A and B are shown apart, each in its own frame.
Chain A
């Protein structure tokens, strides 16, 4: 993958991570910001998936044939992450008190949905931790390019790693 693409991904991933952190603290942001920020996070996730489309297709194709167990595990993890994000955001939209009423839609309050929204967001935190962990070396590699390290040998190793990693 080209370096420029890596930077685009890095920026988007960083923004998503920040947005997610804020989304898990509605008390901090207030409900209005919570809802609109999370909705834009949903749009960012779609972008994130579009940018990794070749990975999704190519690994998906050989999921049951020729690939490593790590790769399968990662695929499963990404699938679960997608499910939990979808449930969190969908239940969020359904219990919305700021964004949806603006469109003229109000719904009866549903405790199950509210509870589901909390549970799903907790699970998402867990899965996102795993997602970040799996890409840790990529993230560190990118960070090292921003924060210069003294040892020259290290940055050479990092740039080699960047050429090889991710597809």
Chain B
């Protein structure tokens, strides 16, 4: 029971966030809207009508041809390594800053990193 309750709380909070996001989107308060999105990434004016046609079939997804990664491909390995490098750099910088802060701090309470006051 407790477990279900907690899961519902997590999902509930997530739901509120999504509602909030959607509200911002409807109010056009997000920095992006269909126009900016189009100009930034999707310059494909002529074929647009086709994409947005209501009730389009499943198969039509394949031929949209902007970027297609329907099939696994080793070309994408760079994207993954890119993420790894980004996370590595951020982690490295923060860990170094943390070391410096700690070594200059008078009270070096080691294990009290987080959580314990």
Question: For chain A, which range describes its interface: under 10, 10 to 19, 20 to 34, or 35 or more residues?
Answer: 35 or more
Assuming A129-B89, A166-B115, is B52 touching A27 (CB within 8 A)? no
Tell me if B46 is interfacial: C-beta within 8 Å of chain A: no
Question: For chain B, which range describes its interface: under 10, 10 to 19, 20 to 34, or 35 or more residues?
Answer: 35 or more
Please state if B117 and A28 are interface contacts (CB–CB under 8 Å).
no
Tell me if B77 is interfacial: C-beta within 8 Å of chain A: yes
Main SS of the interface on chain A? helix
Chain B residue contacts of A31, Cβ below 8 A: 69-70
Chain A residue contacts of B17, Cβ below 8 A: 82-83, 86-87, 90
Main SS of the interface on chain B? helix
Please pick, from A90, A108, A137, the residue contacting B52 in the complex, using a CB distance under 8 A.
A108
Tell me if A14 is interfacial: C-beta within 8 Å of chain B: no
Number of interchain pairs (Cβ within 8 Å): 159
Please pick, from B14, B98, B114, the residue contacting A86 in the complex, using a CB distance under 8 A.
B14
Please pick, from A34, A97, A132, the residue contacting B91 in the complex, using a CB distance under 8 A.
A132
9 nearest CB pairs, A to B: A129-B90, A27-B76, A28-B76, A164-B111, A25-B79, A133-B94, A30-B72, A25-B80, A115-B37
Residues of chain A at the chain B interface (Cβ within 8 Å) = 20-22, 24-34, 46, 49-50, 53, 55, 59, 62, 66-68, 70-71, 74, 82-83, 86-87, 90-91, 97, 101, 106, 108-112, 114-116, 119, 125-126, 128-130, 132-134, 136-137, 160-161, 164-167
Assuming A62-B117, A134-B94, A137-B113, is B6 touching A53 (CB within 8 A)? yes
